[in-house]
Amino acid sequence: MERNKKRKISIIGSTGSIGTQALEVIEKLQDKFEIIALAGGKNSELLKQQAEKFKPKYISSSCEPEKLLGNHNAKILQGEEGLEQICSNRENDIILMACSGRIGLKPTLTAIKNGIDIALANKETLVMAGDIVMREAKKQDVKIIPVDSEHCAIHQCIKDINQVDKLIITASGGPFLHKSIEDMKKATVEQALAHPRWNMGKKITVDSATLMNKGLEIIEAHHLFNIDYDNIDVVVHPQSIVHSAIEYKDGSVIAQLGLPSMHIPIQYAITYPERFEGIKSKSFSFAETARLDFIAPDFEKFPTVKLAYQAGRTGGTSTVCLNAANEEAVFAFLDGKIKLYNIYEITKKMMDEHTVIQNPTIDEIFEVDKKVRELTRAYIQKM
Ligand code: MG
């Protein structure tokens, strides 16, 4: 980030949890950023307010364009085409991909092909197409800076990946850490959504309760840092102060610590490699924190993590299947159609039945995604 020059940024998913927090960071660092475009989903009212406040050149949503008319001069774009237009606009220095779901994949690839750096918060991009995305990023010399707290921590710890022996990803353990498997089997939607540390969207909160979120993060870490699955460990750390760590070949362990706030990793990703005071609320105190606990993950209680390792090692469309089946199962759980524990069983069943395509094209990835979702929904219907 050149000093005295405003960094031009667009946010895909500006009305979501990461997007709104990113705008809080940008508001605090007004003289550092110029917003080119904001794209939201269905919350047209909030997107309109954001347009009035932050004055982007373009806004885009999945709603009818009339809903975005208001007291702003932004050009109104729409749908997937709108996202493509934003992500191919080379005015952008960086694009924050903060939308959730598979909708993030194609725009990310478009931005990379146009040589635009990516601050990546969208999980599906690397879980579904990590090989393609990272290969393209390397080819275009584009930076992919992770926003997720764990990957952001690892990004901050690594100087030279060739000297790293392993990554240690921390997991808060979610709301069922100290509950029995029996309690987990009876869990209600409300209990699954009561995450002890992080306030996030519903899908990711359920994934945190089953620990599938950690599974997806293992796959992302493999792609982001080009490291073997055998060299990625998970440790449960309920306080969420150590956001992740790495161990160098000589045995030195470097961890990144801080209060659990998404503002910090978001700001890191969009201002990298510079650092500013920004939105930091208070200094971290070791003395006040007093203790940090670490526990080996219970793979019997949280078998989703093993499933994710298996999908990652298999490679190809295996991770596409994992992601699609899990997401459909999570939606069914949120709709009250299945129990929390069924999410794992359903995902495993779909993985067992999936015929893996190695080195898939983007079109094949989307076909598999669609097919697995249909199969998963049909299977849940019959349960
Ligand atoms: Mg995370």
pLDDT digits (tens, 9 = 90+) for 292-324: 999 999 999 999 999 999 999 999 999 999 999
pLDDT at position 111:
98
CA of 20 to the centre of ligand 1 (A): 17
Question: Is residue 375 a contact partner of residue 368, using CB atoms and an 8 Å limit?
Answer: no
Domain match, 175 and 47 both: no
> Does the pLDDT value for residue 5 go beyond 90?
no
Domain match, 246 and 361 both: no
CA of 274 to the centre of ligand 1 (A): 22
Q: Which amino acid is at 12?
A: I
**pLDDT tens string 144-155:** 999 999 999 999
Q: Is residue 85 in some structural domain?
A: yes
Task: Return the percentage of the chain with pLDDT > 90, whole number.
Answer: 87
CA of 175 to the centre of ligand 1 (A): 15
pTM of the complete model: 0.96
CA of 98 to the centre of ligand 1 (A): 13
Domain match, 141 and 50 both: yes
pLDDT at position 2:
57
Based on the structure, what is the number of domains in the chain? 3
Residue span of the structural domain in which 345 resides = 315-383
Domain match, 177 and 274 both: yes
Domain match, 215 and 325 both: no
Domain match, 153 and 137 both: no
**pLDDT tens string 113-124:** 999 999 999 999
CA of 257 to the centre of ligand 1 (A): 14
Domain match, 65 and 197 both: no
> Does the pLDDT value for residue 196 go beyond 80?
no
Helices marked H in 274-361? 286-289, 304-314, 318-334, 342-353
Domain match, 287 and 320 both: no
Q: Is residue 304 in some structural domain?
A: yes
Q: Give, as one character, the DSSP assignment of residue 8.
A: E
Helix (H, G, I), strand (E, B) or coil at 288: helix
**pLDDT tens string 352-361:** 999 999 999 9
The tokens describing 358, both together, are 């190695």
Rg, Å, the chain Cα set = 20
Choose one of 293, 313, 333: the last residue of a domain.
313
CA of 76 to the centre of ligand 1 (A): 32
Q: Which CATH number do you get for residue 321?
A: 1.10.1740.10
Choose one of 263, 291, 313: the last residue of a domain.
313
Q: Is residue 1 in some structural domain?
A: no
pLDDT at position 185:
86
